[in-house]
Amino acid sequence: MLLSCINSFAQAWNYNNNRIAISADGNSAPDNLHKWPIGDPDDWGANAAMLAILAKLEMQDKLVHYSYNNFIDAPAGPDSRNQNKISCDGGIIRWHFDAEKFYDVTTQLEQATNSLAKEMTKSTADDPLYFLHAGLSEFVYLAVEKAIELGGLENLRYVKLVSHSGFNENHKRREWHHTWDDIQKLCGNRMQYHKIKDQNACNQPDVLWCSGKDFSPWYWMRDHKDESIHWLYTRVQAHNTGKADISDCGLLYWLLTGDESGNPEKFKNFIGDGIANSVQGIAVKKLIEDKGKDNFISMEAEHFDLHGQWAFKNDDLASGGRFIEYIGANNDQEITKENICESNFEIKEAGTYTVKWLMRQTKEIEGDRVGSVWINFPDAIQIGHEPVKGFHKFAGRGKNDFTMNGQLDLHGDQSWMTVKFEKAGFYTLQVSACSEFLQIDKFILYKDMSFEDAKKMANQ
């Protein structure tokens, strides 16, 4: 099956079922000695997308090295916030990759360097190494330096480096770091090099691999029957500025299909019905943070498809260390479409659920003022004292810690909100901005339990 899948595409640069190595940039904790402390978050989704491409073609065994967070001299952070590790570990589990081929450079620099260097020294005319340069050059320089030390100078003639970014080739996060030109000088111009066009076109949502803050070209992932593709959508959502950008995966798509103009629609057709033998039953739980009960659903706010003047923020007091904040002006008179954000979730047990959230307001808000959003469950029955349709205000109060509360504000008539789901399936929650400085950690849906029991589960 592998050969028939590959032969259906026209591979690039004479690729013929050869070894593939990938190194992606990023860092797992802020690098405060650099003007851009946080690594390029496009890799957070692109790492997962590249693994999906390989898994779709059943080429897991061709991946001989995958390193990430390759910003040399950047500090390491906790695994719970290590977005590149989350993507790679998730792909390993779902699509059956060999975990021993993966390296977090911030914590495994020596092992990662040795791994890539050894693969370089194996290279011959009959067994070339295709290396996808999805990160900065300093790590590659160290690997080439090690390969030469191991006696592999001439083997470097059969290492084929693919790039799409002059930034990756030339940017240095420290004055003493090296560029692609330095690598070529080090190896005597032995390494082969091919540069495809830049894979970003963020102002054209249907072109290439970045659609800016418009996530709609990727909704096919969200709605896919393969749960591992649902999970892939959450990794696209993870971008800390709310962009749908997986541009680095264009390198691999080009190599295996010969097409340097990939885009969301082509990727949809490529994935088709899904990925063979992908592990099911864990992707949706990762998306909605299922606590193990079908009558309790926790939706992390950072999984929302953000638009308008919403922003991702970090705080240890938030679940998972992240939350969202509305940074625009008060908007309590009408819904503005540009500020509508949504999250997809699964109802496993039909019925009527109570809606709450964990929220707070910043210190800029004086006194004990109410914070609110416009809320809507477009494909379910919303109920206050009686059924209501469309967007309505949902309000609460909280300072300092995130507080579980929330009720409808129907022109002064306040009531708890419940939502009736007539059958199991996937549904959508929409929110739009209302109160300035509002911060949201998560939304909670529960039934057949008390508020106090739901609160305990929400804070676990």
Gap between the Cα atoms of 128 and 117, Å rounded: 13
CATH 3.90.245 fits 2-271, yes or no: yes
Buried b / exposed e along 20-32 (16+ C-beta atoms within 10 A): bbbbbbbbbbebe
Residue 285's pLDDT is: 34
Q: What is the pLDDT of residue 239?
A: 87
3-class state of residue 253 by DSSP: helix
Angle at CA 236, nearest 5°, toward 235 and 239? 90
d(CA 280, CA 235): 16
Distance of alpha carbon 281 from alpha carbon 234, whole angstroms: 15
| pLDDT attached to residue 282 | 62
- Residue 25 exposure: Cα atoms within 13 Å on the Cβ side: 27
Q: Report helix angle 227-237 to 83-95, nearest 10.
A: 170
pLDDT of residue 302: 77
Residue-level pLDDT at 412 = 67
Q: In order along the chain (460 residues), what is the average pLDDT of each group of 10 residues? A: 49 95 91 83 93 98 97 86 90 92 96 98 99 97 98 99 93 95 98 96 93 93 93 90 92 98 98 92 42 77 77 84 86 82 85 96 67 93 93 89 90 86 89 90 95 90
Q: What does the alpha-carbon distance between residue 84 and residue 247 come to, in Å, rounded to a whole number?
A: 15
Helix (H) or strand (E) holding 396: strand 392-396
Distance CA 332, CA 436 (A): 10
Sequence spans of domains, the chain: 2-271, 289-458
CA atoms of 295 and 453, how far apart (whole Å): 12
pLDDT on residue 4: 42
Pairing type for strands 425-432 and 371-376 reads: antiparallel
C-alpha angle 452-390-289 in degrees, rounded to nearest 5: 40
Same CATH topology for 2-271 and 289-458? no
Torsion angle in degrees (nearest 10) through CA of 431, 268, 95, 230: 20
E-strand stretches of 49-139: 63-68, 102-104, 129-134
Architecture of domain 289-458: Sandwich (2.60)
H or E, element range at 144: helix 137-149
Q: Which residues of 437-459 are buried (b: 16+ CB within 10 A; e: fewer)?
A: bbbbbbbbbbbeeeeeebbebbe
At residue 341, what are phi and psi to the nearest 5 degrees?
A: -120, 155
Question: Encoding tokens for residue 24?
Answer: 């992606």
How many CA atoms lie within 13 Å of 364's alpha carbon, on the beta-carbon side? 10
